[in-house]
Structure 1
Amino acid sequence: MRTQSVLNLLVIDDDQLYAERLVHLLDGYYNTINLGFLDDKEELLKLLRQPWDVLVFGNAYDMSFTDVVGIVQEQGVDLPMICLMNEEMAVSANDDEGFPDIISGTMVKALKVEQEMAVVMSICLQHDNLRSRRELKMLRRVLSEAEQRANVLIKNSKSAVAYIDQGIHIFANDPYLQLFGFESMNDVIGVPIIDLIAGGDNVKGFKKFLRQFDKGSRQEVEFEFESVRTDGSTFEAKLQLAAATLDGEPVTQVIIQQNNTNSAEVAKRLAEAERKDSLTGIDNRRGFEEEMARVHQQARQGLLTAALLYIQLDNIGKISSSLGLQGIDATVKQVAYTLDDLITDGHVSRFSDTGFTVLVEDKTAAELKKLAEVIGSRIRDMLIEVDKRTISTTVSIGIVKIEQNTAEPSVVLERAMDAIHQVMVETSNHGGTYHMYDPSEHANSDDHALAESLIDAIANNRFELSFQPIYDINNDRSDFFEVYLKLPLADADNTVLTPDQFMGVAKTHNLLEKIDRWVLINACKKVNEVRKNHPEARLLVQLTSASLIDKKLPNIVSQLIKAVGGAAGTLTLQFNEKAISDHLTVAKTQFSALSQVGCQMGINNFGSSAKSIEIASFVQPDMVRLARSYTEGLESADNLEAVKSLIVRTNDINVDVLMPYIEDAATMSISWSVGARYLQGYYLEEPSSTIKVVN
């Protein structure tokens, strides 16, 4: 029975057949086994840069087992090691030559080489042990971070909070000190909590209450009593207990509320806190939704007109690659402060990680466009200081008017997102400008006309495909082709529509799956003809989010791969990073199912979010195609470093990188050196209606 999904096994030995036998025996316990095999020191130093789960040592050209242990320890790698002993080595072990039965109980074991199942069981156990250590390390980090956040919140809380250990105060925040009349924390540390309880019956009842809590009972966590201040005055109070940690040690948290506290005022403060963004101090998504509901209701009643501006940071992927979370936080905070300063007669909120909303009232279309220009200009001119480095950013803005006959708030928000998408279309994914949603551009009559053309194109094969070669640096060949779709219209101007011009309507009329199916079938027909003379030819096909969630897709793809020769890797499907992020769990299942039928998987527009590496690690694609912004401005040292950093991190998780949009010689010369496996662009070759394999 398979108990794990992936094992990264590193074998140091001069017998590769033995390593392959181990892999065969381990196959019953793992879905995937990545084998690294070597027998010399130089190769070991290289391979230790990659993540491994277990190291098995037999015989090496220029290393002893002691050497290997030293190298691994010098590199600071947590890597279980298993030493294999033959008869000669076993004799040495008896002569105290350095091969004991166990070296570090959970790390290194010495086993006889011929006892293969014992070696296999030891590998599985050591891997389980390593996973437990990694999970424990992660949990400790999460606990430490949670404790740090909790302590910051408590110190800044207006509630009276203290920590006690065995009934003795060890910490109290300012409201707690003020409530009981202590001048400083030094005055309360060491004071038993029962000294703050008035009356013998109260003290007796509290001791019993505290003993029950310390024993693990959580049925009662509140205790009402009369409390006494340092000056002898008393007040009615309610005490609440909770388990907590302080500096990693278990303690008991105490929250005390005066019974005469104005509950309405407390509720008001809590409501205000819940609608505030902790990083920027402006309203969060909940605050936006409440304000949006108010504005929308008044607009429906004809009391006002309003508008929503959705503001999206453009180059957050680059900032993340260059400066990590620190750079993202600094950028988000400065943009938030700038918006809050600019919008004096409206409502600003942080809607998502890198998205903001602005609600303004009673502005004309011209005034809204002017406001968007001012916002874009002010943010574009900002200089953001992060760790002695200066960065900048731009924003894309979607504008939607809210009037008496406007749609529901969710639809208004969706239209703002559509306007952002239109900005990206108009600027070839550069962003940095605004687009106002115009209902007349989305009238039902126009939608229906285009939908009819799409249905006709599917039924009568009126779509057209083009194919652009991708150069494979590793294999020095260009027999890998990306497929592009377009729709010629039968009009006097010979108009040709690209997917960004018709996919919105296709989605509205539930045609995405049918279009994806048409592309897959017809692209495979084309490559099938080519593979008769060039059997290595293969395709990269972009599909929509509709196919990402289509459970029938793996079966269809399996049949198509068999139809074109049945070779694994003939077909690579790629999905947009945003679509994968929106359907993350479904995407992982779909990627796995497609991989099992011999289809390779890719992510398009990769690096466009702050969590690109995490997304790739989760769904495990074979390759990624970088977002357009990474190919631009490579002459800048910061931009080049951001690209290299992203590619290195992607390669570290065993995913190949495609560098697209190479349009000139300068970009081409730099692209060779950044670590990408695949290169693509008009400088290499333009898309063509035929698949041309150049040997």
Structure 2
Amino acid sequence: MRNKALLNLLVIDEDQLYAERLVSLLSSYYEDVNLGFLDDEEELLKILRQQWDVLVFGRAYDLSFTDVVGIVQEQSLDLPMIGLMSDDLAVTGRNDDGLPAVIDGNMVKALLAEKETEVVMAICLQHASLCSRRYLKTLRYILSEAEQRANILIKNSKSAVAYLDQGIHIFANDPYLELFGFEDFNDIIGVPVIDLIAGGDNIKGFKRFLSQFDKGSRAQVEFKFESRRTDGTTFEAKLQLAAATLEGEPVTQIIIQQNNNNSAEIAKRLSVAERQDSLTGLNNRRGFEEYFETLYQLVLENKTNAGLFYIQLDNIGKISTSLGLQGVDATIKQVGYALDEKISGGFVSRFSDTAFTVLVENLTTSALKELAERIRVSISEMYIDVDKRTTNTTASIGIVKIESNSAEPTVLLERAIDAVNDIRIKTQNQGDACHFYNPSEHATNDDNALAESLINAIAHNHFELFFQPMYDINTDRSDFFEVYLRLPLSDTENTVLSPDGFMSVAKTHKLREKIDRWVLINACKQLNEVRKTHPQARILVQLTSASLIDKKLPNVASQLINAVGGAAGALTLQFNEQDVANHLTVAKAQFAALSRVGCQVGIHHFGKAAKAIEIADFVQPNLIRLARNYVEGINNADNLETVKSLILRAKALNIDVLMPYIEEAATMSVSWSVGARYLQGYYLEEPSRTMHIAPEK
């Protein structure tokens, strides 16, 4: 049965082809497999910042399986690990019966690498175990949070609430104590609940009622009876039972209402109370989170834009030392009042002991920065009276803009907090500054930020295209250009990412189709301009597997070809050999459909698959672009013969061959003789932002 979930698989091994083989096998069980591949410690420490589901270890350049286990444990990660060994080494990781020495929900050590069926089964089972642990952790957290909220509600409730263990009181809130005339909480501990029920018939009926509830029956959870106070007086009441937990242990919750209770009004007051901070009167964290979620949905629907301020008071420790808790409370109160007054159009809340959050709408980036600066200055200029003394404070303010392509609220809040932490680092914990979180500055180490940068690049044309010509031996021209995509980031290092650096994130966020479409449209726009003076100019565009299986692609290609003059062959689309191998039947149909609309097709990284020629014969491309390893070893006589044989077989199928990666004169001289039609590389010409065509001699 196919698992709809995504598997994030991290493989540490020297053999990338083995890792890709595992991905191919696992595709039968998962909708998608995100592969991480590395073979040294430095890369491991960096890549472990991401979330992985299963780690498979084979052989690495400078790591052993013990090293990896130690690193994962030091990082306190719940990451199942599978150790692979070859026959000659397996004895050290297997018992006398030839079975792995360790098999549990966190580790299998050691499987034989060539036993791929066992490896795939181990990966699936380890992932299933991990998913169960994560789900259990979530449930425990939800239960803990629910219990905490319930206890807060009960303690602040005007309703009479108590907890029972086998019919004995173990907890009661103040209204419950007052209702029955108990002066102190300790007075009711250990008192049977039936002692509070008047009349023998009531007691018998309640015992039956409680017994049925304890057996799991929920058909009846209310019981009307005459209740008795400690002074002997009685009153008519209604009792409700519910299953609950107290400190993680199962108990029975009991709520008693007098007949004249106004439960709706009480519920309304409780709802307000649990969202309000008692010290400042502002909304508390729960109120903030609920409002933030509502505002976030409006932003996603493009009904508004918003900004978030995380305001951390700086010197509370010094105030506490000099003025004690009274000074801290006075400072927080007066800052809270000032924020509420100054930001009349925003939503102000006390997020934690010494931090406030503010949500504002319809402000530009510059307006957000200006407002944050005014808030900072206002706080720093405040004089705070504490008894007969005066103190002051400053604030560090993290600013985050909330737009329709922004990450989810929890991530945005983390970014605002990170912005404050950046202030701490830069000011050596002095604070008193504002910092705007720009996602593009963090794209290299934050997948959500990188996804936002990609969305922004698509929407505002922030991608860059480069063009590298290919020399056509048949025509003695260089007017056929391969298109390269780059993503510049607005960070301090002026980082530029190639698709290898962002396509895995684009895949996770389902952006590959949009990126492919952007490349196609913008490359054809530039081609159209060039063809006005050089009508034979052509382009070769690399697309992802998302476009390979897109049934709309032929129609898009047809429209673009018509837009650049309608010449057959003006546009060639190329796909990765592994993607073609993974979707052979689909690729054959797609290649045929593209051919019918005058669009040529190619395969890049050709020759890596074991049956590369057979694949090409099946899907019938117009062009193949050889993998780098063929070119790098071409000066070796055996490798040269291999390349010549491969090209000869391709030409027999009427497929043109492109020799890329020609970086030096020696490679160039050999490349002339192998029979390829196209030559390309830095030795001939580097990629540039324009399609430069040298004038004919």
TM-score normalised according to structure 2 size: 0.48
Q: Name the structure, 1 or 2, with higher relative contact order (CA <8 Å, separation 6+).
A: 1
Larger Rg: 2
